[in-house]
Amino acid sequence: MARLTDNEGRTKLAKALWFGNDGSKVAAWPDDDVRSKQLTEDPFANVAAYGTMVCTPPYSMEQLVLLAESHPVHAAALEQKAMDVIASGVQLEPTEDDAAEEHKDAIMAWLNGLATDATFIEILNAMWLDYETVGWGVLEIGRDPSGVVKKMWHVPAHTVRAHQDNKRYAQMSHGKIVWFKRWNAMTENILTSDGRVAWEGVGHDKLANEFLVFRKPSRRSTWYGIPTYIAALGHITLAIAARDFNIKFFSNAREPRHMIVISGVHEEKVDALLEDLGEELKTQHGAGTDPHRNLLLALSGGQVDVVIKSMALPQNDLHFTRLLELTDRNILIAHRMPPDRLGFTTRGSLGGSVTADIIFAYKNGVIAPGQAVLADRLNRFLNEEYPRA
């Protein structure tokens, strides 16, 4: 066991090893005993209800995650905002005097050392992508037995639910549940197994880790944030429906669009004629053929008349073009995302580019406030935790 003394003469435990009766090492910290306590299985499978303590979010987080993977403009806007907010990562600036400049490298080394499974920028970007997608982002904090922060992990936000007291959080999967407590929200330790306050002397491995929570403002929930784009959910759904309709058009979903009426055929030849017609339709307009080719029918015998009647409104293969443009525009408006940021060129009234003005407004109206939230929360975390390290 090793002990260190700080500048004020206080002793703190720096390293400890546990050995079994046979002399083999049983455990060690800070490295071996600081582990993530997240569940790694699919979220909420086989969970029938939330129970009385865990609050239901106003929107299904699983559905929000699914939508984020279903529409290209929506997905691009979410990822671009996350990348723009995080940018090149944390930039430290001294707040008091130049003497703090010498601590920048040490602080950055400490922050980067917290993220062992990924870089610090990667976990921040993953967290902020959740923040934009489901309304909040979560980072897990792991401490050693002396209370010093040693590790940090990204937590998939859609796998987490809030307790009624807004201080504890549950992660559920396949009927299992793991509890965490919000960083700096309560002085008591709680148990990982049930979220209750831990008794004196309980093992460190049974104590819950902490969550550093970034939450968007919400008018509908005390516990959960609401994504910025939520007003465009209908437009996202509409765009997906229009896209799927056109996919079915090209794959020939057997929707009756025309009726072929053949008259003047002898009764004994009707069945054979229908079989021949079906075969011609299959070979001339089946899979792998040109969907716009003409249909040729070879009919013989008697006075045979063929009439083709339309059963649907006239439409082009991509007749939802204007509709899709409208939905894309409304989705971008809900995201506060300029189309230029995603590669759509915007022209002014006289044909000139207004990209510079739009990007300037986007940076100051969307990105800067997000970075201010991130900076404020990380500053509080650093001011509280770094002096202990």
Q: What would the pLDDT profile of 305-335 be if each residue is shown by its tens digit?
A: 777 776 565 555 456 788 888 999 999 999 9
Q: Are residues 17 and 104 both part of a single domain?
A: no
* Residue 319 burial class via C-beta count within 10 angstroms: exposed 0-12, middle 13-18, buried 19 and up: middle
208 vs 252, more confident:
208
3-state SS assignment for residue 209: coil
pLDDT at 344 over 80: no
Q: Are residues 138 and 88 both part of a single domain?
A: yes
Task: Spell out the alpha helix ranges (H) of 15-71.
Answer: 61-67
Q: How far apart are CA 270 and CA 10, in angstroms?
A: 101
Q: What would the pLDDT profile of 355-370 be if each residue is shown by its tens digit?
A: 788 888 899 999 999 9
Task: Spell out the alpha helix ranges (H) of the chain.
Answer: 61-67, 72-86, 104-114, 120-134, 233-251, 270-285, 321-335, 355-362, 368-385
Q: Are residues 327 and 250 both part of a single domain?
A: yes
For residues 119-127, give the mean pLDDT: 94
State the pLDDT at residue 35. 72
Q: Are residues 186 and 283 both part of a single domain?
A: no
State the pLDDT at residue 294. 63
Quote the tokens at residue 115.
Answer: 């993220």
State the pLDDT at residue 262. 72
Reading across the β-sheet that carries 160-162, which strands appear in turn?
A: 149-155, 136-143, 210-215, 176-182, 168-173, 160-162
Q: What would the pLDDT profile of 256-297 be if each residue is shown by its tens digit?
A: 666 777 777 677 777 777 777 777 777 766 666 665 566 666
Quote the tokens at residue 125.
Answer: 């970007």
Chain mean position to CA 137: 9
DSSP string, 112-132: HHH-SSS-HHHHHHHHHHHHH
Q: Are residues 12 and 150 both part of a single domain?
A: no
Q: Which distant-in-sequence residues (6+ apart) come within 8 Å of 148 by Cβ?
A: 12, 30, 388, 389
For residues 189-216, give the mean pLDDT: 91
Lowest-confidence segment of 71-85, 196-210, 252-266 by average pLDDT:
252-266
State the pLDDT at residue 348. 57
Q: How far apart are CA 135 and CA 230, in angstroms?
A: 10
Q: Highest mean pLDDT range out of 113-122, 124-133, 295-304?
A: 124-133
Q: Are residues 320 and 286 both part of a single domain?
A: no
Number of H helices, E strands in the chain: 9, 11
For residues 13-33, give the mean pLDDT: 50
Quote the tokens at residue 168.
Answer: 């504890």
Dihedrals phi, psi of 206, to nearest 5 degrees: -95, -5
State the pLDDT at residue 236. 94
Q: Are residues 10 and 150 both part of a single domain?
A: no
Q: What would the pLDDT profile of 220-229 be if each residue is shown by its tens digit?
A: 898 999 999 9
Q: Are residues 218 and 117 both part of a single domain?
A: yes
pLDDT at 177 over 70: yes
- In the chain, what's the furthest Cα-to-Cα distance? 113
pLDDT at 2 over 50: no
Q: Are residues 118 and 77 both part of a single domain?
A: yes
Q: How many CB atoms lie within 10 A of CB 129?
A: 21
Q: Are residues 140 and 89 both part of a single domain?
A: yes
Return the percentage of the chain with pLDDT > 90, whole number: 39
Q: Which distant-in-sequence residues (6+ apart) come within 8 Å of 313 by Cβ?
A: none
Q: How far apart are CA 279 and CA 295, in angstroms?
A: 12
Q: Are residues 237 and 272 both part of a single domain?
A: no
For residues 98-118, give the mean pLDDT: 80
Determine which helix (DSSP H) or strand (DSSP E) holds 71, and give its type and residue range: none
DSSP strands (E only) in 119-245: 136-143, 149-155, 160-162, 168-173, 176-182, 210-215
pLDDT at 340 over 80: yes
**Which residue, 273, 295, 310, sits at the end of a domain?**
310
Nearest to 36 by CA among 125, 168, 138, 161: 138
State the pLDDT at residue 380. 92
Check residue 46 and report its DSSP letter.
T
Q: Highest mean pLDDT range out of 92-106, 290-304, 372-386?
A: 372-386
Q: Are residues 175 and 50 both part of a single domain?
A: yes
pLDDT at 143 over 50: yes
Quote the tokens at residue 89.
Answer: 């990562």
Task: Domain of residue 288: give its range.
Answer: 256-310
**Rg of the chain (C-alpha set):** 31
Q: How far apart are CA 227 and CA 230, in angstroms?
A: 6
Domain count, the chain: 3
